[in-house]
A and B are shown apart, each in its own frame.
Chain A
Amino acid sequence: MRIISDAEKEFIIQSVAKDVRCDGRRQIEARDAEITCGVIAQAAGSSRVRIGGTDVIVGVKAEIGTPDVSTPGLGCLEFSVECSPVASAAFRGRGGDDISAELASAIEKLYCVGFGSKPDESPLDLSSLCILPGKSCWVLYVDALVLDLDGSVIDAISIGCKAALQDTKIPKVEVQQDGDEEDFEVDDDPEHATRLDVARVPLTVSVGLLGTAAVALDLTGAEEEAATAVICVSTNPEGHVCGVSKHRGQGIPPALMLDMISTATKEMASRHKAVNDFLMGELQ
């Protein structure tokens, strides 16, 4: 997105190689994420996440719909990402559509929904969203809006979705049996609403290769531009790798790639703990 000169690129690569990045961080130091829940009054759940200059708002709406034919006992999760023109002039009109689709697809993979996935393997218990098997279920629409970019957008969105889903209040539903007919009634009282258990949901972190050997975790916008290659690694709180995707121009030697993935996974443990602790705190 941003344009940087060759001299700036060289400066960034050398600074990472010397373990003193432009914002003072060390190679494997991630930025702090600032999370606020409940920022959108009319959404069932919402959050705002800021990592450096990257700013994302996520809103969740819960509606009643029909379950997928292949999974009658599960509710539905639908993700969408929109890149607002306020983040960059390149996103005006349909300019942001490609990136938005890619980001939405990446998030869907974290939750095992979307094309080619198995929703019953989702880290979120989708069966808790079922109302009448095969007939009615909760459909959660998770909409992310990117307001500002400074690298690690997918990381911020992954935290935002997790926080917004934690913040979501699902109204209590009472199923009534009336002879052969089954019907349900939605309880409007927010005191009776239930919450989802998001503890197992994975998060992403970006790790980049700068130059030929320097590795940096959680890249800023300028670092992403200067990077030779970027890998987005998704890990869950148990420390398992849930997904890997490589971006940008050049290839990486396999040994180095495994190294980068394992570094990312190790460093993510502290972020997972911090996020889970924060979300637990929000519940009280």
Chain B
Amino acid sequence: MEYVSPEGLRLDGRRDKELRRLNATIGVLQSADGSATFEMGNTKVMAAVFGPKEVEQRSLLDADKAIVRCEYSMAIFSTGERRRRGKSDRRATEISNVIKNTLEQTIMLELMPRTQIDVYVQVLQADGGTRCASINAAFLALADAGIPMRDIVCACSGGYLDNTVLLDMNYAEDSGGGPDVVVGLHPSLDRMVLLQCDNRISIETFQEVVDLVSEGCRAVAAFMREALVEHIRLMAASQQPRG
């Protein structure tokens, strides 16, 4: 199967270094303290934050900092094939831990000791890059909940197919058998908070892919910052006294 045409076009018509179309909505749920949806192409993820609140399990209470609980779930209709899986799906547990770990490095936990912050991620449509979209959605939801963070946290994926380094792969490209690299970044602090790589890749190519994906992360961060500013602008406008 050809993933990159001789003219340099991918399966969905993008160029090799092109991100999919991004879309974000902030404050989408009433019950949650903070919520957001994030779309990367056809991948659509909703995140909700509950907290900081009292720790439910006393044995987990930390006197020095907040604890983070995270759960990632995929809707039955989110994938092409109807996904009839149990809640103890290994992949979901792994991704939940990845998101939790990334957010623990981002949230200023020491400011909220003896509390718990719940972050729930619901995948509505899956087309590759769900863990990246999850982290991005979680960031926006945390911002919506007013939880203090060290920096923006953004995530993006990339790979290597048909001798080309590709940015932000969709499901078809993900399944292409090439390496799949995920990077999570704190752009202003210039720190990498998440790095995952599947499949064989040479060190030179790996460096190329990580560099490209980091660029992609920064583009995502810029987009999210703009989305947050716009959201606050709308909120401020709606609270202006009339007359």
Chain A interface, number of residues (Cβ within 8 angstroms): 33
Contact of B80 among A42, A60, A84 (CB under 8 A): A42
Residues B77 and A84 in contact, CB atoms below 8 Å apart: no
Any chain B CB within 8 A of the CB of A125?
no
Partner of B77, one of A2, A42, A147, A148: A42
**How does the 8 Å CB contact mask read for A53-95 relative to B, with 1 for contact and 0 for none?**
1010101110100000000000000001010111111001110
Within 8 A of B (CB), among A112-150: 141, 143, 145, 147-150
> In the complex, A141→B79 CA distance in Å?
14
Specify which chain B residues have a CB less than 8 angstroms from the CB of A89 in the assembled complex. 50, 118, 120
> Complex formed: what's the CA distance from A258 to B160 in Å?
68
Interface residues on B, range: 20 to 34
Chain B nearest CB: distance from A145 CB in Å?
5
Q: Are A42 and B79 in contact (CB under 8 A)?
A: yes
Check B32–A80 contact: CB distance below 8 A. no
Which chain B residues lie closer than 8 Å to A87 at the CB level? 29, 31, 48
* A46 interface hit (Cβ, 8 Å): yes
- A61: chain B residues at CB < 8 Å are 77, 82
Q: Do the beta carbons of A147 and B29 come within 8 Å of each other? A: yes
Cβ–Cβ < 8 Å partners of A55 in chain B: 29
Residue A43 lies at the interface, judged by CB distance under 8 Å to chain B: yes
Residue B170 CB within 8 A of the other chain: no
| Residues of chain A from 17 to 40 with CB closer than 8 A to chain B in the complex | 40
Taking CB atoms, residues of chain A closer than 8 Å to B48 are 85-87
Task: Say how far B198's CB is from chain A's closest CB, in angstroms.
Answer: 24
**Separation of A124 and B82 alpha carbons in the complex (Å):** 22
A41 on interface, CB distance cutoff 8 Å = yes
Q: Cα distance A209–B122 when bound, in Å?
A: 35
Give chain B interface residues in 27-69, CB to chain A under 8 Å.
29-32, 35, 42, 46-48, 50, 69
B30 lies within 8 A of A80 (CB): no
A150 in complex: contacting residue of B31, B77, B82, CB < 8 Å:
B31
Contact of B32 among A40, A60, A86, A93 (CB under 8 A): A86
Query: B71, A92: Cβ atoms under 8 Å?
Result: yes
Chain A residues near B69 (CB-CB < 8 A): 92
- Tell whether B222 is near chain A: CB-to-CB under 8 Å: no
Interface residues of A in 90-120 (CB under 8 A from B): 92-94
Whole-angstrom distance between the Cβ of A81 and the nearest chain B Cβ: 10
Given contacts A82-B75, A86-B35, contact A63 B82 (CB under 8 A): yes
Which residues of A lie under 8 Å from residue B75 when comparing CB positions? Answer: 57, 59, 82, 84, 143, 145
- Asked if B195 lies at the interface with its beta carbon under 8 angstroms from chain A, I say no
Smallest CB-CB separation from A97: which chain B residue? B87
A86-B46, A93-B71, A94-B87 in contact; A148/B125 too (CB < 8 A)? Answer: no
A147–B46 alpha-carbon span in the complex (Å): 9
* A76 CB to nearest chain B CB (Å): 14
Answer whether residue B124 sits at the interface, using C-beta atoms and an 8 A cutoff. yes
B121 contacts which chain A residues (CB < 8 A)? 86
> In the bound complex, do residue A143 and residue B29 qualify as a contact, i.e. CB atoms below 8 Å apart?
no
Interface string of B117-139 (1 = CB under 8 A from A): 01011101100000000000000
Contacts A86-B46, A143-B77 known; A40 to B31 CB distance under 8 Å? no
Q: Across chains A and B, which 6 residue pairs bring their CB atoms closest together, nearest first?
A: A59-B77, A53-B30, A86-B48, A85-B120, A143-B76, A84-B122
A sample of 6 inter-chain contacts (CB < 8 A) reads: A84-B120, A85-B120, A86-B47, A88-B50, A141-B76, A143-B77
B residues whose Cβ falls under 8 Å from a Cβ of A: 29-32, 35, 42, 46-48, 50, 69, 71, 73, 75-77, 79-80, 82, 87, 118, 120-122, 124-125
Please report A residues at the B interface, Cβ cutoff 8 Å.
Answer: 1-2, 40-43, 46, 53, 55, 57, 59-61, 63, 80, 82, 84-89, 92-94, 141, 143, 145, 147-150, 221
